[in-house]
Protein backbone atom coordinates (compact mmCIF):
# COMPACT_ATOMS: atom_id res chain seq x y z
CA UNK A 1 0.00 0.00 0.00
CA UNK A 2 1.30 3.43 -0.87
CA UNK A 3 2.11 5.91 1.87
CA UNK A 4 -0.14 8.54 0.26
CA UNK A 5 -3.15 6.21 0.02
CA UNK A 6 -6.27 7.18 1.94
CA UNK A 7 -8.10 3.92 1.38
CA UNK A 8 -6.85 0.34 1.45
CA UNK A 9 -7.16 -1.24 -2.02
CA UNK A 10 -7.84 -4.69 -0.50
CA UNK A 11 -10.46 -4.06 2.22
CA UNK A 12 -11.62 -0.53 1.27
CA UNK A 13 -10.99 0.75 4.83
CA UNK A 14 -10.12 4.40 5.24
CA UNK A 15 -6.58 4.92 6.50
CA UNK A 16 -5.04 7.77 8.49
CA UNK A 17 -4.66 9.36 11.88
CA UNK A 18 -8.25 10.55 12.00
CA UNK A 19 -9.57 7.00 11.58
CA UNK A 20 -7.14 5.68 14.21
CA UNK A 21 -8.46 8.30 16.62
CA UNK A 22 -11.97 6.91 16.07
CA UNK A 23 -11.27 3.15 16.00
CA UNK A 24 -8.89 2.84 18.94
CA UNK A 25 -11.22 4.51 21.48
CA UNK A 26 -14.15 2.47 20.13
CA UNK A 27 -12.25 -0.78 20.58
CA UNK A 28 -11.31 0.20 24.13
CA UNK A 29 -14.88 1.26 24.89
CA UNK A 30 -16.37 -2.00 23.59
CA UNK A 31 -13.79 -4.05 25.49
CA UNK A 32 -14.60 -2.23 28.74
CA UNK A 33 -18.35 -2.59 28.14
CA UNK A 34 -17.93 -6.34 27.58
CA UNK A 35 -15.98 -6.61 30.84
CA UNK A 36 -18.70 -4.76 32.76
CA UNK A 37 -21.36 -7.09 31.35
CA UNK A 38 -19.49 -10.37 31.89
CA UNK A 39 -17.79 -9.74 35.26
CA UNK A 40 -20.98 -9.61 37.40
CA UNK A 41 -22.13 -12.91 35.89
CA UNK A 42 -18.97 -14.58 37.20
CA UNK A 43 -19.93 -13.61 40.75
CA UNK A 44 -23.31 -15.34 40.75
CA UNK A 45 -23.31 -18.33 38.51
CA UNK A 46 -21.66 -21.66 38.15
CA UNK A 47 -20.62 -22.16 41.76
CA UNK A 48 -21.04 -24.99 44.15
CA UNK A 49 -24.27 -25.54 46.05
CA UNK A 50 -24.15 -23.23 49.13
CA UNK A 51 -25.36 -26.04 51.39
CA UNK A 52 -22.54 -28.26 50.14
CA UNK A 53 -19.97 -25.57 50.90
CA UNK A 54 -21.47 -24.96 54.37
CA UNK A 55 -21.43 -28.68 55.21
CA UNK A 56 -17.66 -28.75 54.68
CA UNK A 57 -16.93 -26.03 57.28
CA UNK A 58 -16.68 -27.42 60.83
CA UNK A 59 -15.83 -26.00 64.24
CA UNK A 60 -12.69 -27.73 65.51
CA UNK A 61 -12.56 -26.25 69.00
CA UNK A 62 -13.68 -23.21 70.98
CA UNK A 63 -13.64 -21.63 74.42
CA UNK A 64 -14.94 -18.47 76.04
CA UNK A 65 -13.67 -16.02 78.62
CA UNK A 66 -14.58 -12.70 80.18
CA UNK A 67 -12.82 -9.38 80.54
CA UNK A 68 -13.82 -6.14 82.20
CA UNK A 69 -13.19 -2.64 80.92
CA UNK A 70 -14.33 -0.09 83.45
CA UNK A 71 -17.92 -0.90 84.42
CA UNK A 72 -18.53 -3.06 81.33
CA UNK A 73 -18.02 -6.82 81.10
CA UNK A 74 -17.35 -8.54 77.78
CA UNK A 75 -17.46 -12.17 76.73
CA UNK A 76 -15.15 -13.44 73.99
CA UNK A 77 -15.41 -16.75 72.19
CA UNK A 78 -12.28 -17.93 70.40
CA UNK A 79 -11.72 -21.06 68.40
CA UNK A 80 -10.73 -22.73 65.18
CA UNK A 81 -12.74 -23.69 62.11
CA UNK A 82 -11.67 -26.04 59.31
CA UNK A 83 -12.61 -26.39 55.66
CA UNK A 84 -12.85 -30.16 55.08
CA UNK A 85 -13.38 -29.73 51.34
CA UNK A 86 -10.62 -30.89 49.03
CA UNK A 87 -11.66 -28.57 46.19
CA UNK A 88 -13.76 -25.61 47.33
CA UNK A 89 -12.44 -22.47 49.03
CA UNK A 90 -14.88 -20.55 51.24
CA UNK A 91 -15.20 -16.96 52.39
CA UNK A 92 -17.81 -14.65 53.95
CA UNK A 93 -17.97 -17.03 56.92
CA UNK A 94 -20.71 -16.08 59.41
CA UNK A 95 -20.21 -17.52 62.90
CA UNK A 96 -22.73 -17.55 65.75
CA UNK A 97 -21.98 -18.31 69.40
CA UNK A 98 -24.76 -19.23 71.81
CA UNK A 99 -24.19 -19.07 75.58
CA UNK A 100 -26.17 -21.19 78.06
CA UNK A 101 -26.68 -21.21 81.81
CA UNK A 102 -26.22 -24.29 84.02
CA UNK A 103 -29.72 -25.55 83.14
CA UNK A 104 -29.10 -25.33 79.39
CA UNK A 105 -31.21 -22.21 78.84
CA UNK A 106 -29.99 -19.82 76.16
CA UNK A 107 -28.95 -16.58 77.89
CA UNK A 108 -26.84 -14.76 75.29
CA UNK A 109 -25.75 -14.93 71.67
CA UNK A 110 -23.42 -13.15 69.31
CA UNK A 111 -22.84 -13.53 65.59
CA UNK A 112 -20.57 -11.90 63.07
CA UNK A 113 -19.12 -12.32 59.63
CA UNK A 114 -15.40 -12.98 59.67
CA UNK A 115 -14.32 -10.31 57.19
CA UNK A 116 -11.20 -11.08 55.22
CA UNK A 117 -11.24 -14.74 56.21
CA UNK A 118 -10.84 -17.16 53.32
CA UNK A 119 -10.67 -20.86 54.06
CA UNK A 120 -8.71 -22.65 51.37
CA UNK A 121 -9.44 -26.37 50.86
CA UNK A 122 -8.13 -28.38 53.80
CA UNK A 123 -7.13 -25.32 55.83
CA UNK A 124 -7.93 -24.07 59.32
CA UNK A 125 -8.42 -20.55 60.64
CA UNK A 126 -8.94 -18.95 64.02
CA UNK A 127 -11.93 -16.79 64.93
CA UNK A 128 -12.99 -14.51 67.77
CA UNK A 129 -16.36 -13.01 68.63
CA UNK A 130 -16.43 -10.31 71.28
CA UNK A 131 -19.51 -8.65 72.81
CA UNK A 132 -20.89 -7.10 75.99
CA UNK A 133 -22.51 -9.59 78.32
CA UNK A 134 -26.27 -9.45 78.67
CA UNK A 135 -26.36 -11.61 81.82
CA UNK A 136 -24.23 -11.82 84.97
CA UNK A 137 -20.94 -13.67 84.42
CA UNK A 138 -21.95 -16.28 87.00
CA UNK A 139 -24.79 -17.47 84.71
CA UNK A 140 -22.55 -18.36 81.75
CA UNK A 141 -21.89 -22.10 81.96
CA UNK A 142 -21.46 -23.48 78.43
CA UNK A 143 -21.49 -22.36 74.82
CA UNK A 144 -21.95 -23.72 71.31
CA UNK A 145 -20.47 -22.36 68.09
CA UNK A 146 -22.22 -22.61 64.73
CA UNK A 147 -21.10 -21.73 61.22
CA UNK A 148 -24.35 -20.29 59.87
CA UNK A 149 -23.35 -19.33 56.34
CA UNK A 150 -20.42 -19.30 53.94
CA UNK A 151 -19.92 -18.50 50.29
CA UNK A 152 -17.74 -20.23 47.75
CA UNK A 153 -14.72 -18.02 47.24
CA UNK A 154 -14.41 -16.58 43.73
CA UNK A 155 -11.59 -14.72 42.08
CA UNK A 156 -13.26 -11.33 41.67
CA UNK A 157 -10.63 -9.74 39.49
Burial of 23-58, coded b for 16+ CB within 10 Å and e otherwise, reads: eeeeeeeeeeeeeeeeeeeeeeeeeeeeeebbebbe
The span from the CA of 103 to the CA of 123, in Å, is 35
Give the pLDDT confidence score for residue 12 in this predicted structure.
72
pTM of the model: 0.66
What are the pLDDT digits (tens) for 87-136? 889 888 999 999 999 999 999 999 999 888 889 999 999 999 999 999 99
102: domain range? 50-152
Q: Is residue 157 part of a domain?
A: no
Together in a domain, 96 and 127:
yes
Q: How confident is the model at residue 157 (pLDDT cuts 50, 70, 90)?
A: very low
Q: Could you write out the three-class secondary structure of 47-86?
A: CCCHHHHHHCEEEEEEEEEEEEECCEEEEEEEEEEEECCC
Together in a domain, 40 and 68:
no
Q: Is residue 82 part of a domain?
A: yes
In the chain, how many domains are there? Answer: 2
Together in a domain, 68 and 120:
yes
Amino acid sequence: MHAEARKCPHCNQWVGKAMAMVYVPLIILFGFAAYLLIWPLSLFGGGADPAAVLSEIVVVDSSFRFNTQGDLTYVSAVGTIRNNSEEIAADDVYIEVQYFDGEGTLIDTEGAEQYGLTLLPGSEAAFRLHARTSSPVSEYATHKVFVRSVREAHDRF
